[in-house]
Copies of this chain bind each other. A is one copy, B any other.
Amino acid sequence: VYGTVSAQGPTRARLDRDAVARTALELADREGLAALSMRRLADALGVGTMTLYGYFRTKEDLLDAVIDAGYADFEPPPPSSSFRDAARELIFAARAVLQRHPALVEIRGAQPTVRQRAYRITEAAVGALMDAGFTPDEAARAFRVLFDYVFGYALVNPHAPSDELRREAHASLVALPPEEFPALTSMAAEMAEAVGGGDQFEYGLERILDGLEARLALSASATTASAGAPAARRRRTGRRAR
């Protein structure tokens, strides 16, 4: 007696690709990518397993949509006046997405990502870098350093820093044989702090920004000498770049 009002089953919203993908993302974030099976996802949605194949040709197709759903959460920060602030805000926003959706990092390990929404981060970042005076070539390279760092940090440190992580790291370090690991065993406390410490990400980001700023100063003075003021790309809010 198919009722008209009451919702039966775990989830009874009208299904479409996006709704399925969002539920899949939630499942993978919560229990890990390995827990995301077509059968479990169908159960969570209250439909038969094969119903999912009406929305996605294969599981790979579903994972693409999951990536898209994850990057939809990226919110470009408001433009900042200084290069330093703009870059910092952007990288923090990018890290926030990967932290909220660890599944994105897990999936990236299995296949390259070329989803349009993922490129929104790239667009915002290279835009900011060129606004700061980087040439297109340098902006592309600088972006990749920052991006690789954020991904690497997320991969190596998938969980938020915690006392428990610190304790575990410390325990595994002091268990090493000192003859073979003289430095590590002598500085186990400092290493454990760097593994599970709350401001390690910021430390690394500041060092990279130092390096990029030094590079910018160099190339800016070179540009000034040969062709006047640096770049002066139209503001990001403008429609056409260059």
**What residues of chain A have their CB less than 8 Å away from a CB belonging to chain B?**
32-34, 105-106, 108-110, 112, 114, 116, 119-120, 122-123, 126-127, 130, 136-137, 139-145, 147-153, 155-158, 172-173, 176, 178-187, 190-191, 193-195, 200, 203-204, 206-212, 214-215, 236, 238-242
Contact = CB atoms under 8 A, between A and B. Distances in A.
Q: Is the interface of A mostly helix, strand, loop or mixed?
A: helix
A176 B207 contact: no
A133 to B, nearest CB: 14
* Residue from the set A123, A150, A157 with the largest chain B CB neighbour count within 10 Å: A123
Contacts of A137: 190, 193
A183 B141 contact: no
A197 to B, nearest CB: 8
Contact of A204 (B139, B144, B183, B185): B144
Indicate how many identical chains form the complex. Answer: 2
A187 B122 CA distance: 12
Given A155-B109, A204-B148, A184 B142 contact: no
A153 B105 CA distance: 13
A207 B142 contact: yes
Contact of A194 (B144, B211, B214): B144
Closest 7 CB pairs of A and B: A152-B152, A109-B109, A207-B211, A211-B211, A145-B204, A148-B152, A210-B211
Contact of A210 (B33, B139, B210, B238): B210
A68 B235 CA distance: 50
20 contacts: A114-B172, A119-B176, A123-B180, A123-B181, A126-B184, A126-B187, A130-B183, A137-B193, A141-B200, A143-B191, A143-B194, A145-B204, A148-B152, A148-B156, A149-B149, A182-B241, A207-B208, A207-B212, A210-B210, A210-B215
Contacts of A153: 148, 152
A214 B148 CA distance: 21
B191 A126 contact: yes
A184 B211 CA distance: 23
Contacts of A203: 141, 144-145
A183 B148 contact: no
A146 to B, nearest CB: 9
Contacts of A190: 136-137, 139-140
